[in-house]
Structure 1
Amino acid sequence: MNKEWSLDVLYKGYEDEKYKKDWEELKNLTKEITRFSEGLKETPEEETALIKAIEYMEQYQVLGCKLSFYIMLRQSVNTTDSQTVNELNAVEKMLSLSSKPMAAIHKFIAGIEHMDTYMEKHAKLKAYKFFISEIKKEAKHLLSDEVEEVIAKLNISAGSAWSSMQSFLTSTLEVEYRGEVITLPEVRNLAYSDDASVRKDAYYAELQSYEKIKDAISYSLNNIKTQVNTICEFRGYESPLAMTLQQSKMKKETLDAMLEAIREYLPVFHKYLKHKARLLGYHSGLPWFDMFAPMGESNTKFSVEDSKEYLVKHFRGFADDLADMVEEAFDNEWIDFYPKKGKVGGAFCENMPFVKQSRILSNFTGTLKDVVTLAHELGHAYHGMNIQEHLPLNVDYSMPVAETASTFNEAIIMEAAIKETDGSERIALIESQLQDVTQIICDIYSRFLFESAVFEKSKTGFLFADELKEIMLSAQKEAYGDGLDHEYLHPYMWVLKGHYYSENLSFYNFPYAFGGLFARGLYEKYKVEGEEFIPKYRALLNATTVMDVEGAAKEADINLEEPQFWRSSLKTIENLVEEFISATERK
């Protein structure tokens, strides 16, 4: 089993003739689309032009994704490769050329009054009903063709460049730890060590390392958020959050219902953290460096091969198609497993429906947490599998539902693992799950508060690193309450989290809470309904690219606009907290 992914299904290298051919095809297609869009200024035969517009958009979607995914995937495992940096810059420039013609095409589609008539005549148009309805919504916020082109071109040396700088600086950051130089992902992984002194020293080493890059990255954050604020104003959005909600195909009522339930249940998470602090001998809340301190005794280590066997076994009990896909991912080089210098931290999954595969990046060290992370990313791949038969323009799901299948996978694995153990091992697993859900509720809520504040404050001035640190600390205090020791928080979380550094995707935080709670609610329905639930689950995943968030949820008979659903999910976490406290209470 190869421990690095293969991208040969796309191209075998930059010298691959297929790669060169597709580059030429993309250039020619861009020219064709530009000429076509200019012709729309006249009075074309509407129905014929509509069909041609959809065909052009489909071709561009597949070809653009194939090239850009290949380059970005190569960059993610080697951010220092100069050729890849050059190729990425080239493809971004090429794709930016489509902004003006695509804006014109979208405006043309949005202005068609007899769309329903055309949909009845053409099956493909009918299949794109939701996609077209979204174009009509977004068209209200489009600027002139010329301005759209300028924004796209300037972004290459603006928001996109600032984002690349943050990625480069954090992926190449050298951390001095106990006389050695290690990578940022390596020092962050030490937070899970069973040695308290290792955790504490790693925490201080990590914070110290950010001093070298904090000022440069503060410029990245300020300029990206200022750019987003400016574009939101130009487009007539009330705020970046309003723009994100429209991009997310999600109602404000749904977000408000979820946040209301989260705020109600924050004391439950504080209770867990304070109890863990007492178990570790603290009296003023838990210090950040011990948030991931393992509890109980779980010394199980996994090889990559062990992970495959473990995941396939437990997913087989849910659905054969999920287990089969996991086997394929391990056997056919979908996954890049181990950390190394120049490789980005964390983990992600890139769905590639045009080849009916996905690619998964992890930083695997052999812990159960790493296995759960693989389960999470394989959930994304399963989501991709359930939408890969859609037409090319119907394969993008929005941020909130993006974490649904991934977190559902986590629930399967963790519940199975807990059932198989008892005593100290069981405590370790329960507490590990509580660590994770505390992250998707408390930490994600703190990130939401932080980003909201940065957007607001950056309207009137530049936020230097020290001010960003204070905003981060304030958000953590509100989210974690007295569960954490306020003398030992993490003022640099804004430096390392790449989610803040996208010029096209703001507030990539609340979707994690949404996905976690949505998945827990779905899993509870599965436990009640059994086999009858599985077709609903697949239908829900399939619907996420052709319906809004609320509509997709209704495929599983769920109303997201009322706090009660979210409370029911949070209640399952409260039960887990009580079980942990009961099992560890000192007599």
Structure 2
Amino acid sequence: MKAKVFLTLIMVFAMLQNGKSQTLERNEAPDKYKWDNSILYKSVEDWEKEHDRLETEIEKFSQYKGALGKSADVLYSALRTYFDLLKDYYKLSDYAFRVADEDLRISSNQALNQKATTLGTKFSEVTSFVNPEILKVGREKIERFLYEKKELDEFRFYLMDILRLEDHTLSENEEAILASAGLMTSTPGEVYSIFDNAEKPNAVVILSTGEEVELTSANYTKYRTVENRADRQLVMQSTFENYKKFRNTIGANLVGKLKADYFYAKNRKYNSVLESSLNVNNIPVSVYETLIEQIHKNLPTLHRFLELKRRMLGVDTLHYYDLYTPLVKSVEFKYDVEEGQKLLLDVFKPLGEEYVNTVKKAFEERWIDFIPNKGKRSGAYSSGAAYDFHPYILMNWTDDYESVSTLAHELGHTMHSYFSNKHQPFVNAQYSIFVAEIASTINETLLNNYMVSNVKSDEEKLYLLGSYLDLLRTTIFRQTSFAEFEWEIHKRVENGEPLTGDDLSNIYYDIVKKYYGDDKGVCVVDPYVAYEWAYIPHFVHYTYYVYQYSTSLIYATAFAEKIVNEGQPAVDKFYHILKGGSSEYPIDLIKKAGIDPLSSEAFDLTMAKMNKVMDMMEEILERRQN
């Protein structure tokens, strides 16, 4: 028996090394590469018992309806019960959706996930009275209760945040009407998804190789990077000119979504949709304005990168269709799981001993599900929902640098969850999306810094530096151009101005030309690029969301530079974010971590970093030419 087990393990490792891990069944992968769910529930039967208990306790919570203002003791009892139930539900739900993700073919696991979702809906329905009733109790009485019962202090931030939104919270009946309007206002997103993914005819092109390609979204992303320049132009032009045919239909649908946004903002007594969206996390509108203002100021840095790209691609004039072509040919880095772990433990040393030791625990105590198996959910994520336990990470390791980079990113989220859960009560442990990507992106930046310092060849270094510059271009400048477009079209609707498909195209085209220096001869933005907005689903699915991609990378780059330059003092300050959860508003956490989001400091540090990377690349290029 021992010989058979040993032989099986050898076969498994061979399959992993050869990149054939997708053929594995889950039970064929070694346990050390799989997360350990047994610390949450020993069995599905235990999970079922907990589900039934929670269902009963949730039903009992309705006894607090109409009673929150009776006394400090009653309010404390209600909040204590509410958050204890929510914490237990998070654990239950976390277990269910991760077990389901292990093998999506197993219907019993999917049923578990559905049961958890159904219970979550019930929890929301039963407890929906809490916020309106706290508002009805009023600030004066709440503050008296806080004074009378010191245990309520745990919930102070939660209570004060509800009261902060008092002017924008309507009566119970009005709130119910707004909630039911969601049945209609969600329609534009559904229409776009169906049309774009199923019913819109896609352009078909024949490449220089003779290959016939239907330009689905996935194929467009794939073929816009090809080496043949004429093919790149053909792919981009054909895709966007195909969207041009439907600009009025897609435009009318998007305008419907913009009007729905304004309907909610106006009825909640906000001056604009931007103010409404940002106020959820108490983020001032000036943060958004500062982002766009600073990016405009730093467009010369983008233009310097574009000139470098033109030079490295060897073209006389750079066009928009050249932007996705890698600066240098891909360099292959190979890492198995153990090699990737060892590398990251070295990468994270600037973040301090406690951080590194916690990452080591994650590796040793099976927080991470590494290996792809048949039926497993693709991609990667981190889940820190099980408050009293450790976070979990889903990976699909493929023995390459992308796997290492993805793990570094997800470990950033995991460390954020771990330290927030450790240092905050449950009510304050969850963190805002506005800061969520900072911790993950810092890790990616530190990985890139480490790799650039330790690789041996110029080709490897150029590949890493070029990839990093492309990340900065697409995440900072491109996403900010999206944010500016979103702001402009919302303002048109709010001012009662007409907005057609042609109007949307003209607004988008003007912004893109400005960013890429079309009038300065930096990069030619061909006329068909005007219709790119119709290809981007974020505009119809989200409201003022994409700007956070930019701010997160800008703040993360700035924090990483501070950590590298200042050492432990900067690390200590950064822990205000890692440990802060939602104990304070995200803007205040970022300030305590050492950067004022309303100043130019983060932008200055990020642009200095971008220019330093270009200096390094140009130095290598000059050396190679000589």
TM-score normalized with structure 2 length: 0.76
Q: Report the Cα distance in structure 2 between the residues aligned to 1:371 and 1:434, rounded to whole angstroms.
A: 19
Secondary structure of 1:583 counterpart: helix
* SS in structure 2 at match of 1:349: strand
- Tell me by how many angstroms 1:130 deviates: 2.5
Equivalent in 33, 46, 58 of residue 71 of structure 2: 46
Aligned to 1:533: 570
* Alignment partner of 1:567 is 2:601: no
Q: Matched residues in 2 for 1:343 and 1:496: separation?
A: 24
* Whole-angstrom CA distance in 2 between matches of 1:192 and 1:9: 45
Aligned-partner SS, 1:403: helix
Residue by residue over 1:498-554, the C-alpha shift from the partner in whole angstroms, topping out at 9 and shown as x without a partner, is 58524xxx3222222222221222222222332333332223322251112342234
2:440 paired residue number: 406
CA-CA distance at 1:244 after TM superposition: 2.4
Query: Given the superposition, is the C-alpha separation of residues 308 and 583 from structure 1 closer, same or farther in structure 2, using an over 3 Å criterion?
Result: same
Q: Take 1:197 and 1:144, find their aligned partners in 2: how far apart are those partners?
A: 60
Note the C-alpha offset of 1:301. 4.0
Inter-partner Cα distance in structure 1 for 2:247 and 2:50: 40
Are the aligned partners of 1:301 and 1:367 in contact in 2 as well (CA < 8 Å)?
A: yes
Number of the residue aligned with 1:266 = 299
| Aligned mates of 1:490, 1:306 — CA distance in 2 | 46
Q: C-alpha displacement at 1:386, in angstroms?
A: 1.4
**Equivalent of 1:419, from 450, 453, 458?**
453
Query: What corresponds to 1:485 in structure 2?
Result: 524
Q: What is aligned with 1:135?
A: 162
Match of 1:251 in 2: 284
Per the TM alignment, residue 573 of structure 1 is displaced from its structure 2 partner at its CA by 1.8
Q: TM-score w.r.t. structure 1 length?
A: 0.80
Q: Relative to structure 1, is the Cα distance of residues 66 and 188 closer, same or farther in structure 2, using a 3 angstrom cutoff?
A: farther
Equivalent AA in structure 1 for residue 444 of structure 2: E
C-alpha distance after superposition, 1:259-283 (max 9, x if no partner): 3322211221122013202321333
Give 1:555 shift.
2.7
CA positional deviation for 1:126: 2.3
AA matched with 2:269 = G
Deviation of residue 433 (structure 1)?
1.0
Equivalent residue number for residue 22 of structure 2:
none
Identical aligned residues as a percent? 20
The aligned residue for residue 208 of structure 2 is: none
Distance 1:96 1:557, change over 3 A: closer
2:547 is the alignment partner of 1:519 = no
Give, in angstroms, the shift of residue 256 of structure 1.
3.3
Match of 1:555 in 2: 592
| 8 Å CA contact retained: 2:554, 2:603 | yes
| 1:185 to 1:546, Cα distance in 2 relative to 1, 3 A | farther
Q: Match of 1:387?
A: 420
Checking the alignment, whether the CA contact within 8 Å between 1:100 and 1:145 is kept in structure 2 is no
The amino acid across from 1:532 in the alignment is: P
Task: Name the aligned partner's letter for residue 410 of structure 1.
Answer: E
**Corresponding letter in the other structure for 1:403:** E
| Secondary structure of the corresponding residue to residue 352 of structure 1 | coil
- Please, which moves more after superposition, 529-538 or 111-120? 111-120
Partner Cα separation in structure 1 for residue 436 and residue 502 of structure 2: 33
Deviation at 1:352, TM superposition (A): 1.5
Residue type of the partner of 1:439?
T
Going from structure 1 to structure 2, the CA distance change for 1:514 and 1:219 (only over 3 Å counts) comes to same
- For residues 146 and 467 of structure 1, do their structure 2 counterparts lie closer, same or farther at Cα, with a shift above 3 Å needed? same
In the alignment, residue 251 of structure 1 is paired with which amino acid? P
Residues 345-391 of structure 1, C-alpha deviations (whole Å, 9 max, x = no match): x7543432425343445676665345323322221111111101221
1:54-203 matches, cutoff 5 A: 54-66=79-91, 74=100, 90=118, 93-94=121-122, 96-98=124-126, 100-108=128-136, 111-113=138-140, 115-116=142-143, 118-120=145-147, 122-152=149-179, 155=182, 157-158=183-184, 178=211, 188=221
Give the alignment partner of residue 470 of structure 2, picking from 422, 435, 438: 435
Q: CA RMSD in A?
A: 4.6
CA gap 1:336/1:250 in 2 versus in 1, 3 angstroms: farther
- Give the structure with higher Rg (CA): 2
Moved more, 112-121 or 99-108: 112-121
Q: Flag structure 2 segments of 5+ consecutive residues without an equivalent.
A: 1-29, 206-210
Name the amino acid aligned to 1:536: K
User: In 2, are the aligned partners of 1:172 and 1:341 still within 8 Å (CA)?
Assistant: no
- SS of the residue corresponding to residue 384 of structure 2 reads strand
Q: Tell me the residue number matched to 2:481.
A: 446
Q: Once structures 1 and 2 are overlaid, which stretch shifts more, 26-35 or 455-464?
A: 455-464
Quote how far apart the aligned CAs of 1:243 are.
1.9
- Once the two structures are superposed, residues 61-106 of structure 1 have per-residue CA deviations (whole angstroms, 9 ceiling, x without a partner) of 3245445556766589969999699668745743552474133233
Change beyond 3 A, Cα 1:359–1:182: farther
Q: How many residues align?
A: 576
2:66 alignment partner, SS class? helix
Structure 1 CA distance for aligned equivalents of residues 591 and 101 of structure 2: 39
Q: 1:151 to 1:569 in 2, by over 3 A?
A: same
For 1:184 and 1:168, the matched residues in 2 are separated by 13
- CA contact under 8 A between 1:314 and 1:413: conserved in structure 2? yes
